[in-house]
Amino acid sequence: LPGIATVRIAFTTERATRRLIAVGSGKGGVGKSTLAANLAVALAGRGMAVGLVDADIYGPSLPRLMKAEGVRPTAKDKQLLPVATDLGVPMLSMGQLVAPGQAVAWRGPMIGSALGQLLDADWGATDTLIVDLPPGTGDIQLTMIQKYRPAGAVIVSTPQDLALIDARRAIDLFTKVQVPIIGLIENMAGYACPHCGGISHPFGSGGAEAEAERLGVPFLGRIPLDAAIRAASDAGDPPARHDDEGGAAFRAVADRLYE
Ligand code: ADP
């Protein structure tokens, strides 16, 4: 593949017929779903057969980010068929299994079976699934890890101490169960003021890189805090496809997954 060197992450189990990459965070709102969507779109842009699974049952946002809101997946022989998107990335979301706006109040076993439906769907030729996990270290993360053995995990954090403390917990969980940490991504890094052009750091600066070094995990790069990223995401037009600073940052991080 152009620009992509040898694959650092390897299959970890016989069960996995396709590689699962988990995208996690300790804290909500740090941009985990934004990263999951844009990593998938950027890898698809490099010619990879990537699918996207939204396992964030409590706050599924990938349908909006991928312009697939309100699209119900169909099923064949009791197996779900992923929803095709215009972005070259088939996807399935917990949000597509419930009515829009409906709160999900499921206990562990229900959640586990819903997750199974998404991951065991008919993914066809897709060889890599990016899985957007809910924040934290709960039921979904454990089911996903034990039953589906991700090939690796990417952890997203802002540079802020509070987010980093939680990111450390997420890293600890994956490490304990021997899922390799592909690396840590710093999101919402420096903000370029559209008025004066000056760079400010609302959530601090460099924290995730320093933390990655401390924990001995790779640092995969930083994504700026950028109003254009928020606007494009809300419009279902993933910024990873844009020819601007934000787009370049997402593509650079995606390429580092396979360094
Ligand atoms: P999480 O999945 O961690 O809860 P989201 O990906 O849903 O977080 O992001 C939370 C909000 O922050 C969304 O409105 C998203 O558009 C916005 N956002 C995420 N990353 C950035 C960024 N780098 N610049 C600007 N807005 C961002």
Ligand 1, residue 34: give the atom nearest the CA: 6
Q: List the single range of 27-31, 100-104, 116-120, 246-250 with lowest mean pLDDT.
A: 100-104
**pLDDT band, residue 17 (cuts 50/70/90):** low
Shortest-distance atom of ligand 1 to CA 36? 6
Q: Which residue has the higher pLDDT, 144 or 91?
A: 91
Look up residue 178 and give its amino acid.
Answer: Q
Instruction: Using the mean position of ligand 1's atoms as its centre, give its distance from the Cα of residue 14 in Å.
Output: 35
Q: Are residues 34 and 144 in contact, defined by beta-carbon separation less than 8 angstroms?
A: no
- Tens of pLDDT, residue by residue over 26-54, are 999 999 999 999 999 999 999 999 999 99
Cα 201 from Cα 191, distance rounded (Å): 6
Report the C-alpha gap between 194 and 199 in whole angstroms: 10
Q: Which residue has the tokens 């017929």?
A: 17
Domains of the chain: 19-256 (3.40.50.300)
Label the pairing between strands 199-200 and 79-81: unpaired
Asked whether the beta carbons of 107 and 143 are under 8 A apart, the reply is no
- Determine the average pLDDT of the residues in 225-238: 96
pTM of the model: 0.91
Kindly provide the ipTM of the predicted complex, given to two decimals.
0.99
Tell whether ligand 1 has an atom less than 6 A from the beta carbon of residue 225: yes
Residue 220 pLDDT exceeds 50: yes
Q: Check if 185 has its Cβ closer than 6 Å to any atom of ligand 1.
A: no
